[in-house]
Amino acid sequence: MKPALPRDPLPHNTENTPSGQPRCDTIGGLAVDTRRCIMGLNDPQSARNPPIEVPMRAPLLALCVISAAMPAHSAAQKSDDFCRAASGVDMVDTSQIVTPEFLDKMREIGVTTIGRYFDYEDETITGKRLRAEELPLIASYGMSLVVVFQHNNNLAETFVDWKNRGPADAREALKLAAQFGQPDNGAIYFGVDGDFVGNGAIFHTDDVLGYFEEVNRTFDAAGVSYPVGVYGSGETCFTLIGEGLAGFCWLSHSHGFTGTPEALSAGAFDIEQFLHGTCGGRPVDFNKVNEGVTAFGQWMPQ
Residue 228 bridge partners (DSSP): 188
CA distance 215 to 245: 9
pLDDT tens string 6-34:
222 222 232 334 344 433 333 223 333 33
Neighbouring-strand partners of residue 251: 232, 272
Which helix (H) or strand (E) element contains residue 277?
A: strand 277-279
The pLDDT of residue 73: 54
Domain membership of residue 199 (yes or no) is yes
- 3-state SS, 94-116, equals CCCCCCHHHHHHHHHHCCCEEEE
Q: Supply the CATH number for residue 99's domain.
A: 3.20.20.80
Residue 76: pLDDT band by 50, 70, 90 thresholds? confident
Residue 10 lies in a domain: no
C-alpha 250/C-alpha 260 separation (Å) is 11
Distance CA 190, CA 203 (A): 18
Confidence of residue 121 (pLDDT cuts 50, 70, 90): very high
Domain assignment present for residue 54? The answer is yes
SS3 158: helix
Beta partners for residue 278, in sequence order: 283
Show the DSSP H helices in the chain as ranges: 34-38, 60-68, 100-109, 134-140, 156-160, 162-179, 205-222, 234-242, 260-266
Q: Is residue 186 included in any domain, yes or no?
A: yes
Total domains in the fold of the chain: 1
pTM, to two decimals? 0.80
Percent share of the chain, pLDDT over 90: 75
**Is 2 within the bounds of a domain?**
no
pLDDT at 232 over 80: yes
3-class secondary-structure state, position 247: coil
Structural element, H or E, at residue 271? strand 271-273
pLDDT for 74 equals: 55
Q: Is there a domain that residue 270 lies in?
A: yes
In angstroms, the CA 109 to CA 112 distance is 9
Full domain range(s) for residue 228: 26-289
Contacts 24+ apart (CB under 8 A), 173-176: 173/118, 173/147, 173/149, 174/218, 174/219, 174/222, 174/224, 174/226, 176/118, 176/130, 176/147
Strands 277-279 and 188-191, how do they pair? unpaired
Residue 295 lies in a domain: no
Q: Are 63 and 10 in contact (CB under 8 A)?
A: no
Kindly state whether residue 71 falls inside one of the protein's structural domains.
yes
- Rounded average pLDDT over 163-184: 98
Q: What is the 3-state secondary structure (H, E, C) of 22-62?
A: ECCCEECCEECCHHHHHCCCCCCCCCCCCCCCCCCCCCHHH
CA 215 to chain centre: 14
